[in-house]
Amino acid sequence: MALSLWRGWGTIWWAALMLAGCAGAPPPSVVERLLPPPPQVARPSQELMLERALAEFHGAPYRSGGNTPAGVDCSGLVQTVFQRAGVLVPRTVAEQFNEGRPVAPAELRFGDVVFFNRYCQARGRELFTAGILSHAYADEVCHNGVYVGQGRFVHASPRGVFVSRLDAEVWRISFIGARRYLTLSSPNLH
């Protein structure tokens, strides 16, 4: 239902929403900006509430420590949308990473939370040197978002709340894992 609202907004809206990635990450490609939303499927009520909450935050500005559509950061977005779906999730990215059930990338479903390490903050040539950076840098989880299907996730970055593709270079290089908090899930949407 809420996802159908996303469908009604035009390509220009999608392009405007997808102008940036994680803090300092390069802007998405033209292909990434023009992607349509995932198809709507029937969902149990818990997932429907999560979907509605995500729609309410879509396009919200970034605010460190924020957790409202007036301003939100990545972990505040995750915590708040899950609370609205009746699921208690801790506040920080690290705490959220340590909760929930680990999920393999091939098993991602709507509502799973995807996590990224500090590489998502690398810019341009820094992505090429990511392999030689400190292991602590690679092991530190620092960003997350909610998987919405077809290789896409909603997240809050310093450029606001929008949808990105997991297969974009910055996200592929910095992906560190995923967690499942919902007790009910629809079939895979990858």
pLDDT tens string 99-115: 989 999 999 999 999 99
Adjacent-strand bridge partners of 152: 149, 165
| Structural domains counted in the chain | 1
Look at residue 153 and tell me if it is in a domain.
yes
Quote the strand ranges of 56-184, DSSP E: 67-68, 71-72, 101-102, 113-117, 141-149, 152-157, 160-165, 175-180
Identify whether the C-beta of residue 86 lies closer than 8 Å to the C-beta of residue 69: no
Which is the catalytic residue, given 58, 120, 142, 143?
Answer: 143
Look at residue 140 and tell me if it is in a domain.
yes
Q: Is 74 a catalytic site residue?
A: yes
Adjacent-strand bridge partners of 52: none
Per-residue model confidence (pLDDT) at position 107:
96
CATH number at residue 29: 3.90.1720.10
Identify whether the C-beta of residue 58 lies closer than 8 Å to the C-beta of residue 162: yes
Look at residue 101 and tell me if it is in a domain.
yes
- Is the model's pLDDT at 15 over the cut of 50? no
Q: Which domain holds residue 147?
A: 2-180
Quote the strand ranges of 54-111, DSSP E: 67-68, 71-72, 101-102
Look at residue 185 and tell me if it is in a domain.
no
What is the three-class DSSP state of 113?
A: strand
- Residues 114 and 112: their CA atoms lie apart, in Å, by 6
Per-residue model confidence (pLDDT) at position 24:
43
Identify whether the C-beta of residue 10 lies closer than 8 Å to the C-beta of residue 33: no
Question: pLDDT tens, 131-189?
Answer: 555 666 678 899 999 999 999 999 999 999 999 999 999 999 899 999 999 975 444 44
Per-residue model confidence (pLDDT) at position 137:
66
Which is the catalytic residue, given 22, 74, 120, 142?
Answer: 74
Which amino acid appears at position 166 of this protein?
Answer: L
Look at residue 123 and tell me if it is in a domain.
yes
Identify whether the C-beta of residue 184 lies closer than 8 Å to the C-beta of residue 47: yes
- Residues 23 and 147: their CA atoms lie apart, in Å, by 19
Look at residue 16 and tell me if it is in a domain.
yes
- Residues 45 and 51: their CA atoms lie apart, in Å, by 10
Q: Among candidates 146, 114, 149, which has minimal Cα distance to 39? A: 149
Q: Is 22 a catalytic site residue?
A: no
Look at residue 186 and tell me if it is in a domain.
no
Distances (CA, A) of 114 to 8, 27, 46, 142: 26, 19, 19, 11
Look at residue 189 and tell me if it is in a domain.
no
Q: Is 190 a catalytic site residue?
A: no
Which is the catalytic residue, given 22, 58, 142, 155?
Answer: 155
> What is the model's pTM?
0.72
